[in-house]
Structure 1
Amino acid sequence: MTRHARNNTASACYTYHERQRDTQNSGYGTIKERLAKDSVGDFDACCLTLQPCRYPVVTPEGFLFDKEAVLEYIIHKKAEIARKLKQYEKDKKKHEMEMAELAEAEEQTKAEKFSNMERGLINPSTLNGSSTSNDISKPGPSSEKSVSNMAKGLEKKLPSFWIPSLTPKDESKDPLKAPDTTIRCPMSGKPLKAKDLIPVNFTPVDPSLTREQLIAKQERYLCPVTRDILNNSVPCAVLKTSGNVVTLDCIERIIRKDMIDPTNGKPLKEKDIIILQRGGTGFASTNKLESKIKKPVMQV
């Protein structure tokens, strides 16, 4: 009996291993990959730099950013929008000039035809005779409304989906579209403004440690009310009145009873409690740790 290694592809069924191998080699089918804990960001990491925040700020949707990184992002987007607007105005002026030239050429053609008719350069009887002969040669009213695309010279205007120059275009819409001037959050896609960013205050476990020493530790911050350690597995929220980060358990058990910030005594509203978007724990039961890339399906 021969070894299995020599007949590993002689099976009558298409095995899972062969399907996965062919998917990776051919580029067909949906590719799935399980993300490890190293691919999940920490709860105190910036959504842009993926590093612990030096000056943390949070958006109203709960996404944490480093102040320097998000301001640089906003400035870059403003410059990009200004560049797109400048190009749009340039293209708009060019389009208007082209349309004006076409309208002028059309008016000039009409004027030349009218002038030729007035001068008698074109014999009206010839036109009438040609029209009469054309009327006689026409088959009938039933065939005038033909749906064939070969009539009236349309055979030279046939669309072609595989030639870029002959691809049909939607002429009902304006080809020039004004660019979006709204700066949007890279995580949520909602409008992002610098004035809406809220400073965040993390309470360190040991205030005597420097920032470098604090980042090197696994347990860096805690809740200022309950003194619970903050990590990826603990749901947290930011109090807008003080910027302090507390646990959701503290909010449900203590803060929601009186709706008063326990760190400074200021009254709270429901919109002042911002749920912090955490990165993940590395466990599939808590977070979605499977990434998918959808590609064309190969029928076997």
Structure 2
Amino acid sequence: MPRHSKNNTASSVFTYHEVNSLNYGTKKQRLGRDSFKAFNACFLCLQVARDPVACQSGHLACKECLYESILTQKQEIQRQQRLTAQRQKDNDEQKVLEDEKAQLAILANFERTQTSVLPDDRRHSIAQSAESTHKSSPSGSRETSKDPNTPLGSLPAIGKFGSMRALFKQYCVLIRVDGHVIVESSPQLHAGAKRKFELNQEERQRAVDKEKEDALRKINEARTEEAKPKLPSFWLPSLTPNAGKSDEKDRQEKEQAVCVAGAPHPVTIKSLIPVKFTNEDEKSNHPICPACMKGLNNGMKISVFRKCGHVICNKCIDSFVKKSQVCYVCEKKFKDKDIIDISAEGTGFASNSNQLEAKRFGLSFQ
């Protein structure tokens, strides 16, 4: 073996041969005539279309192939709808379970708060202070003061009720007797008096919802904190992480069958157009234009009539068919919107081809 063949990749420059032989980055390839299907070929099986039909965009296919494609897509759509309904049901059940967990957390917190055990000295001090307060301020007591602005010593703390004056007027009654002001406590402050607490249904439901949201937030925070410190062994089947819920929001489901030739567009069985080619003779299967009797090929622009399905080249349509607004074969009337161009990939030359270069994307750097 010569020495050059051993060192053919040791050059100081990156040669064209080395670039093509290296499977790296985006690859491009010039397409030739053999890479394009025939104008009368099915875009699904790539063979000459048997019993051909066309969609509203002019894509030709076998009737059997296109029917099978539509049926398969409809079955897949129904399966996806069942999966979506099942996912929605699972989400609802999960939400119910989370609500139950939140309610259990609220009840556990309430029981823990109400049944907490206090030390003995703390419990005795609270009981003694309560007894002394009850003995020093009997119900129905009266206090006299020379200053009319002197408030009661046992007024409740000022919160959201307003100023001291408003609170004083609400809970006290002033009586003048012989130049002295007698401050009489309101029946609302009497020992053993019960005040009515009114709470409507909306406020009650709002409070319950707020407490439930707080409990759910605490549960989620605890779950997040528990998952942070450790990374599970994701290679084990039992610890495989699940997909997030964000993936379900981005998922878009198809609502109807589409034609996959070119840009996807909706297609139905009723909208398909039966295509009728005119052959050169009974023995030959090569289609021709019935007007100019020229053979059809990938380099010609041809169209099909929506109402009758006959195929004529665009040159004949522009010359005399559009003027008469009548089909050349069956003499059926049509409009300009009934003329549909049949999609053809081309011949491989720049003037008659839609795509001349194939490209396969490859990530260069990662």
Seen in structure 2, the aligned counterparts of structure 1 residues 60 and 298 have a Cα distance that, compared at 3 Å, is same
Superposition deviation, residue 159 in structure 1: 11
Looking at structure 1, the residues matched to 230 and 27 of structure 2 have their Cα atoms a distance apart, in angstroms, of: 36
Q: Pairwise mapping of residues 267-282 of structure 1 onto structure 2 (< 5 A)?
A: 267-282=333-348
Q: Is there any run of 5+ residues in structure 2 with no aligned partner, and where? A: 123-221
Cα distance, 1:75–1:248 mapped onto 2, change above 3 Å: same
| Deviation (angstroms), 1:3 | 6.1
Moved more, 163-172 or 58-67: 163-172
Q: Which position in structure 1 is the counterpart of 2:12?
A: 12
CA contact (8 A) 1:236 1:245 kept: yes
Match of 2:79 among 80, 83, 98: 83
Shift of 1:63: 0.1
- The answer to whether the 8 Å contact 1:116/1:122 transfers is no
Query: TM-score with structure 2 length normalisation?
Result: 0.62
Aligned match of 1:148: none
Q: What does the per-residue CA deviation read over 1:5-61, in whole Å, with 9 as the maximum and x for residues that have no partner?
A: 4543332211111122223xxxx2111223332321111111111111121111110
Whether the aligned pair in 2 keeps the contact of 1:31 and 1:294 (CA below 8 Å) is yes
Q: Cα distance 1:87–1:156, how it changes in 2: closer, same or farther (>3 A)?
A: closer
Corresponding residue for 1:205? Answer: 280
Q: Is the 8 A contact 1:36 1:282 kept in 2?
A: yes
Q: What whole-Å deviation, never above 9, does each CA across 1:218-252 have from its counterpart, x for those lacking one?
A: xx011112222111111100011221100011121
Corresponding letter in the other structure for 1:181: E
Partner of 1:235: 301
Any unmatched runs of 5+ in structure 1? 126-151, 215-219
Equivalences for residues 98-113 of structure 1 within 5 A: 98-113=94-109
Match of 2:67 in 1: 71
State how far apart, in whole Å, the 1-side matches of 2:94 and 2:332 are.
63
Worse overlay, 259-268 or 92-101: 259-268
Asked if 1:39 corresponds to 2:35, the answer is yes
Residue 80 of structure 1 deviates from its aligned partner by: 1.4
Map of 1:157 onto structure 2: 228
* Local SS of the residue matching 2:22: helix
Partner of 1:121: 116
Within 5 Å, give how 1:168-247 maps onto structure 2: 175=249, 177=251, 179-187=253-261, 188-206=263-281, 208-209=282-283, 214=285, 220-247=286-313
What are the superposed Cα offsets for residues 255-281 of structure 1, whole Å, 9 maximum, x if unpaired? 222333233333322220100001322
Contact 2:322 2:336 in 1 (8 A): no
Output the CA distance in 2 between the equivalents of 1:238 and 1:100. 58
Counterpart-to-counterpart distance in 1, 2:269 and 2:257: 10
Note if contact 2:258-2:266 (Cα within 8 Å) is conserved in structure 1: yes
Give the TM-score, by structure 1 length.
0.74
- Structure 2 residue identity aligned to 1:10: A
> What CA distance in whole angstroms lies between the structure 2 residues aligned with 1:42 and 1:159?
60
Aligned residue among 36, 60, 67 for 2:56: 60
Partner in structure 2 of residue 297 of structure 1: 364
Aligned to 2:26: 30
Equivalent-residue separation in structure 2 for 1:221 and 1:173 (angstroms): 50
Paired with 1:80 and 1:87, the residues of 2 have a C-alpha distance of 10
Q: Distance in 2 between matches of 1:59 and 1:90?
A: 34
C-alpha separation between the residues in 2 aligned to 1:291 and 1:15? 22
Change over 3 Å in CA distance of 1:6–1:72 after alignment to 2: closer
1:139 maps to which residue? Answer: none
Q: State the 4+ residue runs in structure 1 displaced beyond 4 angstroms.
A: 152-156, 163-178
SS in 2 for 1:96: helix
* CA 22–177 in structure 1, closer or farther in 2 if over 3 Å, else same: closer
Q: Between the two proteins, what is the percent identity of the paired residues?
A: 32
Q: Tell me whether 259-268 or 75-84 shows the greater mean CA deviation.
A: 259-268
